Amino acid sequence: MKLLKEILYKVNINSVIGSTNIKINKIEFDSRKILDNDLFVAIKGNNVDGNKFIPQAIEKGGKVVLCQAIPKEIVKGVTYINVRDIRESLALVCSNYYNNPSKNIKLIGITGTNGKTTTSNLMFQLFKFFKYKVGLISTNKIIIGNKKIESDNTTPDPLTLNKVLYNMAESKVDFCFMEVSSHAIKQKRVSGLNFKAGIFTNLSHDHLDYHKTFYEYRDIKKKFFDSLDSNSLAIINADDKNGNYMVQNCRARIFQYAIKSNADYSLKIFEKDFDGMKMKINGSEVWTRLTGKFNAYNILATYTLAKNFDFKEEELLNNISRLETVEGRFEKISKNKSNKIGIVDYAHSPDSIQNILQTLNDLKDKSSLITVLGCGGDRDTDKRPLMGKIAASLSDRVVFTSDNPRFEDPKLIIKQMEAGVDKKDLYKVSSIIDRKKAIKFACEINSGNDVILVAGKGHEKYQINGENKIDFDDKKILEEFLKNKN
C-alpha cells in the first residue's frame, strides 16, 4: 500500500476534498475492478465516461476518486482529487505508485509510422547478444527477460505499462525497448516516464481517422521528443523530411542516421536478395539476414543506438549479422519445388505498401508479383484508395480482400480500394472478400518463380469481424497453399 500524498507527486491538482494522508491499496480506471481502499481514476473516453461510474466505484470500496470535475454528490469518508489533466494524472500516479520504475532502467522509445516493431525487436536482439538483460514492449508482445506476455496495444495503458516496467526493474533488466505509438503520446500514456533515448523512424499517411490531419499526427509525434531531457539521446532519420522538425525544441543530444543524406551515421547497400543484404555501415562491411531498404534503415537506427553505448565495432558488426527477421515483417514463408516465394508482411499504410512492393520488384527476376491486400474497418478511410492504387501499379496481379473489417461492410472497404486504381491497371485486379479464398486464389494463379505477398496483418493470429475474433494466421494459410501447389 502507498500513501495517497506520495503518489500525487508532480500531479497538477486544482482542489482536494478530504485527506491525502491515507493509504491506497491500488489504482484502477475500471470501476468493476475496484476493491476496498482503491483509487478510482474517472476518465472520459471515446465510448465510456468513467465519471458516471464514480458511485459504483465508491460502493465497491473505493476511497479516493481522481477526476477532472468534482461530482455533485460528495460521499463522507471519500477523498476527491480534482486535476487539470486526467490522462496525464493517471500516468503520473501510476508511475509514482510503482516507484517510478523507468528511472531504474535504460528505457528506449521508438516512434514513427513504419519500422517501430522491427527496430525495437532488432535492438532487443542485439543488446541481448551483448549479454545485457533486456525487455521489450512491442505490438502484441511484452518480454521480460525470457518471459513473454501477450498484449493488446502497441503501447499499453499507464497502469499496465508501469507495472511491467516495475517487474522489469525488479528483474534487473538493463535495457527496455518500447514502441511509442501516436495514440499513446496523445493519450499521455507515457507521461512521467524517463526515456534514455528516443528513436524517430519515419512519418507518412496513417491513423488519420484518429488524428484528423497529417499535421496533427506529426505534431503529436514531436511532443515525444520535446519531452526528452538533456541526459537522453534523440536519434532521427535524416532522410525523412520530418526528422529535423521532430527535434527542433529537443533538449536531448541529437544524432542523425541516413542512407541518402549527410548524417552522423550512414549506410550503403551493395548487394541484396531474398536471403539478405551486403552493406557498408560507416565504412565497415557487414552481411545481414534482413533485406530491403526499409530494413536497412531499421538496422542503421539500431547501429546508431549501439554506437552511443560504446559497443566495439567488430563485435557490433558480427552481432548485426546475426539479427533475424521479425515475425510478420517481410517474413519469407517457403519455397516449394517450383521456387515460388511467399512473403507475409504487416504493411497497412500507403508508404509501407509502396516500400515493400518496390523492394520485391527489385529482388525478383522475371517472375510475377502477386499481392493480396485488404484495409481494416473502422480505421482511416482516406488511405484505402491510395493503397489500392499503389498495390495495383506495383504488382502484376492484385487480390483485394478483407483485413479486419470490424463493424464495416468488407464489400464497401474493397470498393474504396478499387476506386483508387488507375484505369490502365484495372485488368490486374481481382476482389475476393473471404481472405482465405483470396490467398488460395493467389497461389493458384502463380506460375514459374512467382512471388506472393500477403500484406496487412503480418504477425496477427486473428481476424476481427464485428464482435467476433476468429483464429486466422496469414503465415500458416499461405504456407499451406504454397505446399499444396506443385
Whole-angstrom distance, CA of residue 66 vs CA of residue 91: 12
The topology under which CATH files domain 331-484 is Protein-Tyrosine Phosphatase; Chain A (3.90.190)
Whole-angstrom distance, CA of residue 308 vs CA of residue 24: 41
First-last CA distance in the chain: 64
Which pLDDT score is estimated for 64? 98
Whole-angstrom distance, CA of residue 428 vs CA of residue 447: 16
Confidence check: pLDDT of 149 > 90:
no
What is the per-residue pLDDT across 413-450, written as a single tens digit (0 to 9) for each?
A: 999 999 999 999 999 999 999 999 999 999 999 876 78
Q: What are phi and psi of 104, to 5 degrees?
A: -105, 5
SS3 120: helix
Residue type, 359: T
Locate the domains of the chain by residue range: 2-97, 101-320, 331-484
- How crowded is residue 140: how many other Cβ atoms within 10 Å of its Cβ? 17
Which is more confidently placed, 212 or 483? 483
Hey, what's the cell of 300? 542503421
> Span 136-148, mean pLDDT?
89
Which pLDDT score is estimated for 213? 86
Quote helix, strand, coil % in the chain, to nearest 5. 35, 25, 40
472 DSSP assignment: -
What is the rounded average pLDDT for all residues in the chain? 93
Burial of 365 (0-12, 13-18, 19+ CB in 10 A): exposed
- Concatenate the DSSP letters of all residues of 37-49 into one string: T-EEE--B-SS-B
What is the per-residue pLDDT across 69-111, written as a single tens digit (0 to 9) for each?
A: 999 999 999 999 999 999 999 999 999 999 999 999 999 999 9
Grid cell 486535476 is found at 83
Whole-angstrom distance, CA of residue 415 vs CA of residue 403: 14
The residue among 478, 389, 475 whose CA lies nearest residue 442 is: 478
Which pLDDT score is estimated for 121? 96
Q: Using CA atoms in the order 7, 10, 16, 20, what is the torsion angle rounded to 10 degrees?
A: 30
The topology under which CATH files domain 2-97 is 3.40.1390
What is the dotted CATH code of the domain comprising 101-320?
Answer: 3.40.1190.10
Confidence check: pLDDT of 112 > 80:
yes
Which is more confidently placed, 183 or 102? 102
45: confidence class by pLDDT, cuts 50, 70, 90: confident
Which pLDDT score is estimated for 150? 77
Residue 16: beta bridge partners? 81
Which pLDDT score is estimated for 151? 74
Cβ contacts of residue 25 below 8 Å, gap of 6+? Answer: 1, 35, 36, 37, 38
Hey, what's the cell of 404? 479486419
Long-range Cβ contact pairs of 214-221 (< 8 A, separation 24 or more)? 217/182, 218/242, 218/245, 220/182, 220/185, 220/186, 221/111, 221/112, 221/182, 221/185, 221/246
Do 377 and 463 form a contact (C-beta atoms < 8 A)? Answer: no
Q: Using CA atoms in the order 142, 146, 147, 151, what is the torsion angle rounded to 10 degrees?
A: 20
Which pLDDT score is estimated for 304? 98
| Percentage of the chain exceeding pLDDT 90 | 86
Which pLDDT score is estimated for 69? 93
400: confidence class by pLDDT, cuts 50, 70, 90: very high
Confidence check: pLDDT of 36 > 90:
yes
Whole-angstrom distance, CA of residue 334 vs CA of residue 485: 12
What is the per-residue pLDDT across 231-284, written as a single tens digit (0 to 9) for each?
A: 999 999 999 999 999 999 999 999 999 999 999 999 999 999 999 999 999 999
Q: How far is CA 76 from CA 17, 18, 21, 58, 73, in A?
A: 10, 8, 16, 11, 10
411-435 burial, b if ≥16 CB within 10 A, otherwise e? Answer: eebbebbbebbeeebeebbebbbeb
Which pLDDT score is estimated for 61? 97
340: confidence class by pLDDT, cuts 50, 70, 90: confident
The residue among 146, 240, 181 whose CA lies nearest residue 161 is: 181
What is the per-residue pLDDT across 303-335, written as a single tens digit (0 to 9) for each?
A: 999 999 989 999 999 999 999 999 999 999 865
The residue among 191, 6, 165, 192 whose CA lies nearest residue 97 is: 6
